[in-house]
Amino acid sequence: MADMPWIALPLGALTGVVMGALGGGGAILTIPVLIYVLGQSPHEATTSSLVIVGLSALAATIGHLRAGRVRVADAMILAVVGSLGTYAGSAASAAVDQRILLVLLAALLAVVAALMLRPTPAGLGSEPTIAPVGGASHWRRMSGLAIGLGALTGFFGVGGGFAIVPALTLVLGYPMATAVGTSLLVITLNSATAFISRLGQGVQLDGPLLVTFTAGAILGSLLGGYAGRRASPAVLKRGFATLLFVVAAYMLVSAIVHR
């Protein structure tokens, strides 16, 4: 596919739109596209996705920062503490058979899709109801959440945004807009940490394809952020959840057929 990297442009835009609109989910769509459409190996795809998702999340974060929808201090805590889980997850990923990695990723997609179909509690995210900080319970929740998200980032090559947004709204009481903006900053930082941790694992990346896909993802993330502020969150979530179920089913069937 290196001879036709332009194909990655619209594919990257699609994943960028998802992440910009929902504050996450770009990587868990990017990885199957890189593997099944663009022909990369699972380990190469999960590493490439860290670059693609990290840069596109950074582009989308800028607008949220300007609008005051990012809790920078909490994002830094989630990223710094989460780096412990990120390095552990990256080391574990390198030791796992590629077919098993695909099966585990497919299972993760199905779980995420099911969680996204759960109804949002009435009134959630309408006003800033962020839980007070400083208590031991708050920091325990933050630390546990950070390590778990970091492990997902390192192992699967995903930014963890699909889990950050519901965690921030349901556990810490963030309004939805602030959760999306904060999630994008955490994704940026987590992706950078995970990519650095993989530099010594000998993965070769396709430069032209990576640049083209990333350019599309950045453009898509900006468009997705614009559209997400105007579209119904419920409709966006249902559509994305359905897509995840389809992708997960395809990955499982493919892993079984080609074992």
Q: What is residue 16's predicted lDDT score, i.e. its pLDDT?
A: 86
Q: What is residue 161's predicted lDDT score, i.e. its pLDDT?
A: 67
Radius of gyration of the chain (CA): 17
Count of CA atoms in the C-beta half-sphere (13 A) of 19: 43
235-248 per-position pLDDT tens digit: 767 777 787 788 78
State how far the Cα of 146 lies from the Cα of 85, in Å rounded to an integer: 8
Which residues, including other chains, have CB under 8 Å from residue 246's CB and lie 6 or more apart?
none
Count of CA atoms in the C-beta half-sphere (13 A) of 55: 18
Q: Which residue has the tokens 């930082």?
A: 189
178-211 per-position pLDDT tens digit: 888 898 898 898 888 888 888 877 777 888 899 9
Q: In angstroms, what CA-CA distances link 191 with 55, 80, 196?
A: 9, 12, 9
Which pLDDT band, with edges at 50, 70 and 90, does 159 fall under? low
Q: What is residue 4's predicted lDDT score, i.e. its pLDDT?
A: 59
95-119 per-position pLDDT tens digit: 888 788 888 888 887 887 787 787 6
For residue 144, the Cα-to-chain-centroid distance in whole angstroms is: 18
State how far the Cα of 16 lies from the Cα of 219, in Å rounded to an integer: 7
**Number of folded domains that form the chain:** 1
Q: Which residue has the tokens 């070769």?
A: 204
Other beta carbons within 10 angstroms of residue 205's beta carbon come to 11
State how far the Cα of 24 lies from the Cα of 38, in Å rounded to an integer: 22
Range of the domain at 131: 5-257
State how far the Cα of 133 lies from the Cα of 204, in Å rounded to an integer: 43
pLDDT greater than 80 at residue 166: no
